[in-house]
Amino acid sequence: MDTDSRGPYSFRHVRRRKTTQDLVYEQIRDALIAGTFEAGRTFTITSMATEFGTSHMPVREALRRLVAEHALELDSTGTARVPLTTPEGLDHLCDARCIVERAAAEQACSRLHAPELEALEAVAQTHVEALRQGDAVRMLSSNYTFHFTVYQASGNPVLINLVQNLWLRYGPYVRLLTDRMTEMLKQDEAGSYSKYHLELLAALSRGDAAAAGQAIVDDIHNSQRLLHRFFD
């Protein structure tokens, strides 16, 4: 299944020659993190070059970078593919996320002040509204913004990079959530999906780093349990 320009994600033509490879890489990376592509989706260099309006070289190098980061797989024909999702893969990723994201949240705790916390609260409210409306796409987008606002506040570029790489590999599971959560979000049980964001906000507001880290871990485990239901 080859990619084309008729999918839900529209790539922009790249015209800056000096950083073309980086710009192509960043767009594909962001689309993967957002869960735009389902597991098993394939990418050929020719079709992607056409979509970006570039030569083959920057696309080839961007795909190679993503393969090296385990966000894509490369088959014997040279075609890149989004890895298939498995329960075991989910558990491994969640274990790693708990370790790295807990540390990022704990480090962010002392660096978030009133203006940043107010902005974070607004994002959390958007997340709650999306849940109530059964809007899975907006819910996942606000979830991403909420988490990375916290992680960026850690001021630790190494941790942030590790979190980004984990979320990059988490993309197929994000897509699985997007495809299957819309109706579930309208049920009463969906309200618990925002619970840990509110607990994290409370912990950050009172400067409790341990509680902030635990709220992140609880949030990850909550999503993990939900995804396992879909596998079942």
Give tens-digit pLDDT for 90-105: 999 999 999 999 999 9
Residue stretches of the chain with pLDDT short of 70? 1-10, 14-18, 182-183, 185-192, 232
CATH code matching the domain that covers 20-81, chosen among 3.40.50.10800, 1.10.10.10, 1.20.1280.290, 3.30.470.20: 1.10.10.10
Question: According to CATH, what is the number of the domain 87-231?
Answer: 1.20.120.530
Give the residue from 177, 197, 178 showing the smallest Cα distance to 122.
197
Topology agreement, domain 20-81 and domain 87-231 = no
Provide the whole-model pTM. Answer: 0.84
Domain boundaries, the chain: 20-81, 87-231
Give the residue from 98, 103, 124, 129 showing the smallest Cα distance to 223.
98
Place of tokens 């962001």: 30
Looking at this protein, which amino acid is placed at residue 135? D
pLDDT of 211 reads 98
pLDDT of 53 reads 93
pLDDT of 18 reads 58
